[in-house]
């Protein structure tokens, strides 16, 4: 492997790693030859960009191919202010790719080319330099765990390293059925729970990490109880258009409604939510403030095209309070 550039200086606010891919976004069906817009996308780098836009120091320590898509990934992240000092390139494996087509109305279909990609070959050794630099928050996702044995082991090593040093470990379950089954995901993710400070999951992802069904009366509460008993300190449940909820081991509870915005593109909304929540953690906001910022970033994401392109900078956090159709002059 080859590093992208020299050693970073000092701990970052948020460290993350995973697969960032070449992304082709189509306004219609590929089968009829819709023209594509090329960009990059990946759950962890989406979060890193969202955090960096809010003025925090975010680092992404993933692995890309030594190819044009890999160079696009690195250039994009660097341009968005994400620290890529510990990112690296693989000499032979390619950068992964995804294609997102708007099939009909607001229904989006996503296709992936990940098998044998550089990121699927990630090992603990690849992230050791970034872990050595230090961070306040380590952000992990279930997607990285699903890429292969090496990435899963890297996540396990990173979680243990961060926990032992008192960092805040945040895990976004982010279950992808095309990568693995719920049962496989649960077996891989449950051993991480004692290291996790903040677990973030959509309401339908809670069974993945608990094995408890949440569609029965009281099911969600029992699932959250199980996570807190397993060692997680706080659980954040994303409920899409219904908002989000928070509960911790001290019994503190908060819920906030979703912001009402015109929906253009829901892909990336969960990553935006995570970025807002982590930003609130870094800023020392109370739970209600963290949820509010997370919901704000999620609303920016669904009201904009692209996974991360519409995410706000800090001085734009209040924009959604303006009346629809407002021209800010």
- Catalytic sites, residue numbers: 271
Q: In what order do the strands lie in the sheet with 198-202?
A: 58-60, 12-16, 135-141, 168-172, 198-202, 234-238, 244-248, 253-256
Give 99's strand partners: 24, 111
Identify the H or E element spanning 294.
helix 287-302
Closest to 211 measured CA to CA, from 222, 201, 200? 222
- Residue 84 CA, distance from chain mean position: 16
Q: Element (H or E) spanning 279, and its range?
A: helix 269-282
Question: Phi first, then psi: what are they for 200, rounded to 5°?
Answer: -120, 130
Phi then psi for residue 222, to 5 deg, are -65, -40
Residue 58 CA to residue 50 CA, distance in Å, equals 9
Contact indicator for 307, 79 with CB cutoff of 8 Å:
no
């Amino acid at each position: 492997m080859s590093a992208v550039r020299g050693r970073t200086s000092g701990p970052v606010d948020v460290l993350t790693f995973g697969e960032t891919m070449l992304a082709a976004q189509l306004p219609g069906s590929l089968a009829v030859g819709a023209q594509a817009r090329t960009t990059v996308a990946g759950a962890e780098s989406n979060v890193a960009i969202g955090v960096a836009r809010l003025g925090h120091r975010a680092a992404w320590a993933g692995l890309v191919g030594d190819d044009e898509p890999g160079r696009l990934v690195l250039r994009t992240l660097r341009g968005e202010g994400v620290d890529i000092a510990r990112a690296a390139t693989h000499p032979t494996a390619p950068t992964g790719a995804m294609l997102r087509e708007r099939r009909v109305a607001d229904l989006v279909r996503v296709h992936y080319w990940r098998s044998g990609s550089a990121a699927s070959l990630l090992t603990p050794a690849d992230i050791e330099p970034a872990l050595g630099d230090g961070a306040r928050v380590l952000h992990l996702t279930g997607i990285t765990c699903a890429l292969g044995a090496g990435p899963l082991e890297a996540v396990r090593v990173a979680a243990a390293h961060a926990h032992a040093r008192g960092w805040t470990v945040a895990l976004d379950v982010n279950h992808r059925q095309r990568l693995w089954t719920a049962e496989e995901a649960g077996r891989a993710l449950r051993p991480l729970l004692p290291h996790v400070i903040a677990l973030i999951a959509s309401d339908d992802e809670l069974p993945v990490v608990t094995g408890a069904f949440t569609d029965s009366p009281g099911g969600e509460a029992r699932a959250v109880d199980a996570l807190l008993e397993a060692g997680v300190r706080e659980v954040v449940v994303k409920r899409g258009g219904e908002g989000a909820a928070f509960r911790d081991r001290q019994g503190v509870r908060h819920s906030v409604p979703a912001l009402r915005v015109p929906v253009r593109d829901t892909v990336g909304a969960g990553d935006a939510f995570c970025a807002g929540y982590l930003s609130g953690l870094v800023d020392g906001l109370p739970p209600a403030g963290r949820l509010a910022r997370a919901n704000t970033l999620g609303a920016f994401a669904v009201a904009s095209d692209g996974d991360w392109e519409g995410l706000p900078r800090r001085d734009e956090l209040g924009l959604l309070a303006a009346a629809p159709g407002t021209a800010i002059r």
